[in-house]
Amino acid sequence: MKIINKLSDINICQEEFPIFFWNKWKTVEEELHHKQRLLCVDNDYNVVAFTVYKMRFFKKADYLYVPLDKNGNRLTVEKERIFLEEFHGYLKSNKLADAIFPPSHIVVFNTIPSQSIYYKFGIMASDLTLSEDDLFRKAKPNTRNEIRKAESLGVEANFGNELVDDFYKCFVWTTNQKGFNAPSKEYFTNMIRLLGDNVDVGVAYYDGELESAEFSVFDNNNIYVNYAGTSFTPKYKGSNKYLIWNLFKRCKSKKIDNLLYGGYRYNLTENDSLYHVQKFKKHLGVDVVDGYHFIKIINPQKYNLVNFAMKCKSILTGKPYSFVNLKGLDVKRSK
């Protein structure tokens, strides 16, 4: 195995891969996230993208995507297992990381590495190669009625990066309501600056008022709906469903195959806010792709020390601090 900076170093066309392997995304990680983006390739030209972030006493690595072959395709289950074991050994022998964590909620692994903390995890996805009629039929009847009503009421779904200000207003409304800290507006304008035509911003309006918004990135095959927001008091509650339905149609016109709509946690209860977010997405006809996420601890002493420090900070501040939000997940350890 060896580390490379870009796919062209081994004569591979980046456009055949998800955007997280592209040079554009390397700039995003290094300029906006202050992480080093790396690619690791084996002798068969199977490759994985990951980041490394150097904390004070700890090197934290994160997968950006699962390993792919030289044509940008998923490996078989057995080849994925072999690659991961070799890759984790490479991280350890070269002291590149003390632990490596799962990617964001865009993809799942098909196998579980040895001696890892793992959990079943799903990705909510829509197959946009289906016909428009078939996609519409997959939505729940009430959702279809809300979309039809939104159209008859004159709800507008507009798209364009120039709508970032209105997107951000909706996004901040939602994060404030849920008690989250939103990234600054400059974060999103910088994403647009760095990724350009690979960003999609959509906003729904009704009677001149902001209703809902989305901020996505996309590559040649997939769109990743990473951020969304809704008004505190929408004039029509179906506006957000109408926006996403129009996003479906917009992506089909661009020949994008899949819409990735975040993670799915199997053990949430109705008291969890994420439960209702997942329910909203499933009512749109989104499927769940099953798989696994895992944490591979490479340096147990450092990992346990930092993990203990975060638990102490949680007790002292009353706020949750952890590497991964494990709510609604059945966490296990592999042999």
pLDDT tens for 83-129 read 999 999 999 999 999 999 999 999 999 999 999 999 999 999 999 99
What is the band of 139 on the pLDDT scale with cuts at 50, 70, 90?
Answer: very high
Determine the angle formed by the axes of helices 185-195 and 164-178, rounding to 10 degrees: 140
**Does the pLDDT value for residue 223 go beyond 90?**
yes
Query: Among candidates 298, 331, 326, which has minimal Cα distance to 310?
Result: 326
- CATH fold, domain 2-123+290-333, is Aminopeptidase (3.40.630)
Do residues 6 and 23 lie in contact, with contact meaning Cβ atoms separated by under 8 Å?
Answer: yes
Structure tokens at 209: 């008022």
Q: Which residue's entry shows tokens 């008091």?
A: 233
**Does the pLDDT value for residue 318 go beyond 90?**
no
Residue 220: its pLDDT value, please? 94
CA 13/CA 147 separation, integer angstroms: 40
**Sequence letter at residue 232:** F
Do residues 289 and 125 lie in contact, with contact meaning Cβ atoms separated by under 8 Å?
Answer: yes
Mean pLDDT of 262-284: 92
Mean pLDDT of 39-49: 97
Mean pLDDT of 211-228: 95
Q: Which residue's entry shows tokens 């996805």?
A: 125
Q: How many CB atoms lie within 10 A of CB 57?
A: 10
Do residues 61 and 50 lie in contact, with contact meaning Cβ atoms separated by under 8 Å?
Answer: yes
CA 252/CA 139 separation, integer angstroms: 17
Residue 312: its pLDDT value, please? 87
**Does the pLDDT value for residue 319 go beyond 80?**
no
Q: What is the mean pLDDT of the chain?
A: 94
Mean pLDDT of 9-22: 95
The domain ranges of the chain are 2-123+290-333, 130-256
What is the band of 233 on the pLDDT scale with cuts at 50, 70, 90?
Answer: confident
**CATH for the stretch 130-256:** 3.40.630.30
CA distances from 235 to 77, 151, 173, 240, 327 (A): 48, 14, 15, 11, 33
pTM, full prediction: 0.92
CA 116/CA 297 separation, integer angstroms: 7
**Does the pLDDT value for residue 317 go beyond 90?**
no
- Whether 2-123+290-333 shares its CATH topology with 130-256 is answered yes
**Does the pLDDT value for residue 293 go beyond 90?**
yes
Residue 232: its pLDDT value, please? 79
Three-state helix/strand/coil letters over the chain: CEEECCHHHHCCCHHHCCHHHCHHHHHHHHHCCCCEEEEEECCCCCEEEEEEEECCCCEEEEECCCCECCCCCECCHHHHHHHHHHHHHHHHHCCCCCEEECCCCCCCECCCCCCCEEEEEEEEEEECCCCHHHHHHHCCHHHHHHHHHHHHHCCEEEECHHHHHHHHHHHHHHHHHHCCCCCCHHHHHHHHHHHHHHEEEEEEEECCEEEEEEEEEECCCEEEEEEEEECCCCCCCCHHHHHHHHHHHHHHHCCCCEEEEEEECCCCCCCCHHHHHHHHHHHCCCEEEEEEEEEEECCHHHHHHHHHHHHHHHHHHCCCCCCCCCCCCCEEECC
Query: Among candidates 104, 144, 107, 111, which has minimal Cα distance to 123?
Result: 107
Query: Among candidates 183, 186, 219, which has minimal Cα distance to 23?
Result: 219
Query: Among candidates 196, 226, 211, 217, which has minimal Cα distance to 158?
Result: 211
More confident residue, 247 or 314: 247
Task: Give pLDDT tens digits for 56-81.
Answer: 889 999 999 999 999 999 999 999 99
